[in-house]
Amino acid sequence: MFTKWIQSYRDLPLMINQWANVTRWEMRTKPFIRTLEFLWQEGHTAHATLEEAEKEAMQMIDVYTKFAYEQAAIPVIPGRKSRVETFAGADRTYTIEAMMGDKKALQAGTSHNLGQNFSRAFETQFMDENGQLEHVWQTSWAISTRFVGGIIMTHGDDAGLMLPPRIAPIQVVIVPIWKKGDEKGVVMEAVASVQNTLKEAGIRVKVDDSELRTPGWKFNFYEMKGVPIRIELGPRDVKNRSVVLSRRDVPGKQGKEFGISMEPSILVDHIKDRLEEIQASLLQKAITFRDSNIVDVNSYGELKEVISEGKWARGPWSAR
């Protein structure tokens, strides 16, 4: 299509982005990480010069790195692939690599400078400002639902998911608690008020008022779902005009806060502060884990020893 769309330097740069399902015949599948079909975001660009193509390839690996750090709280390591690992047909391949909880590396996103390899194969040319025909310089870059698996394996624990607040579909879940029938009305009225307060503040909140499950069951369920904050609200809390707050990233009593005021300005500020704390805490925890499992090496013997220990080795590389 680029060959049809591109005729002149005025058509450049041409940048195409799409979300698409991809099918691959994998012999050994693993949920999210290696599947027969997956969703990915991919981009393809064409440029007038090598410098523009290289700038685009580098910019996109920076975009993926920023997303990993700032949204997913995953401290990826960006870098350039060796010649052996470079994408077939590319001059250069850039990657972001993430350390999972089992210390294995996950290729979380890639960006390729394709040079003129594909434009020469498909005769994708343009007329430059001097009236000369030139082949375009191309890039491609992609990130897929494999990244979801990376989030699960970076932050999850034995209780289930642990989602960074900035990407969590539900940031706060409210679980109402009552024992007597006449308590339900006042509790649910307070729950609705808290829910509306948080919604108006732009916080993604859900109320689980189902009477088919106990509060304890709901606590475990939303921990497994990775919801960052749980709010508990019962008759005593209504009387005191306060709520109980539990953090997903801090287990047990240490993660609980009692007596948080329902007053909108106080509650909203408190919840927002906690969400940012959780986001920062998950990133720092992942950074600490990553850095504690990277060892500097200066010889082949040291390299083998570090790898045998299941850690990452960092050392000089000739890039051949």
Residue 181's pLDDT is 81
Tokens of 293: 């499992």
Among candidates 150, 148, 283, 157, which has minimal Cα distance to 226?
157
Q: In whole angstroms, what is the distance from residue 234 CA to residue 177 CA? A: 5
The fold adopted by the segment(s) 172-280 is Rossmann fold (3.40.50)
**Each residue of 282-293: pLDDT tens digit?**
999 999 999 999
d(CA 199, CA 240): 22
pLDDT at residue number 180: 84
Which residues contact residue 5 at a Cβ distance below 8 angstroms, ignoring those fewer than 6 apart? Answer: 11, 14
Q: How far is Cα 106 from Cα 137, in angstroms, rounded to an integer?
A: 29
Strand partners, 138: 46, 115
Exposed (0-12), middle (13-18) or buried (19+): which is 149, by Cβ within 10 Å?
buried
pLDDT tens digits for range 33-82 = 889 999 999 999 999 999 999 999 999 999 999 999 999 999 999 999 99
Is pLDDT of 320 > 80? no
DSSP 8-state secondary structure symbol assigned to residue 11: G
d(CA 125, CA 116): 10
Q: Decide if 57 contacts 141 (C-beta within 8 A).
A: yes
Task: Report the amino acid identity of residue 129.
Answer: E
User: Among the CATH numbers 3.40.605.10, 3.30.930.10, 3.40.50.720, 2.40.37.10, which is that of 2-155?
Assistant: 3.30.930.10
Q: Which distant-in-sequence residues (6+ apart) come within 8 Å of 24 by Cβ? A: 35, 36, 37, 38
- Give which of 126, 139, 110 is closest to 11, Cα–Cα: 126
Give mean pLDDT, residues 158-173: 98
For residue 318, the model assigns a pLDDT of: 75
Residue 120 has pLDDT above 90, yes or no: yes
Q: What does DSSP say about strands 133-135 and 125-127: parallel, antiparallel, or unpaired?
A: antiparallel
pLDDT reported for residue 319: 62
Q: Which of 86, 106, 85 is nearest to 312 (CA)?
A: 106
Q: Which two tokens stand for residue 197?
A: 């307060």
What pLDDT band is residue 306 in, cutting at 50, 70 and 90? very high
Helix (H, G, I), strand (E, B) or coil at 88: coil
Over residues 133-139, mean pLDDT: 98
Please give the structure tokens belonging to residue 71.
């949204």
* 107-to-65, 77, 90 alpha-carbon distances in Å: 12, 10, 17
pLDDT band at 182 (very low <50, low <70, confident <90, very high): confident
Tell me how far apart the alpha carbons of residues 274 and 277 are, in angstroms, rounded to a whole number.
5
Tell me the per-residue pLDDT of 228-252, one tens digit each, with 9 for 90 and over.
999 999 999 999 999 999 999 998 8
Phi, psi of 38 (to 5 degrees): -150, 160
Question: What residue spans in the chain does CATH classification 3.30.930.10 cover?
Answer: 2-155
Question: How are the residues of the chain apportioned to helix, strand and coil, as percentages rounded to the nearest 5?
Answer: 40, 30, 35
Q: In terms of C-beta density within 10 A (0-12 exposed, 13-18 middle, 19 or more buried), how is residue 56 classed?
A: buried
Per-chain mean pLDDT for the chain: 96
- Encoded amino acid at 104, one letter: K
H-assigned helices in the chain: 2-5, 50-70, 117-121, 146-155, 181-200, 215-224, 235-240, 264-292, 300-308
* Segments of the chain assigned to CATH 3.40.50.800: 172-280
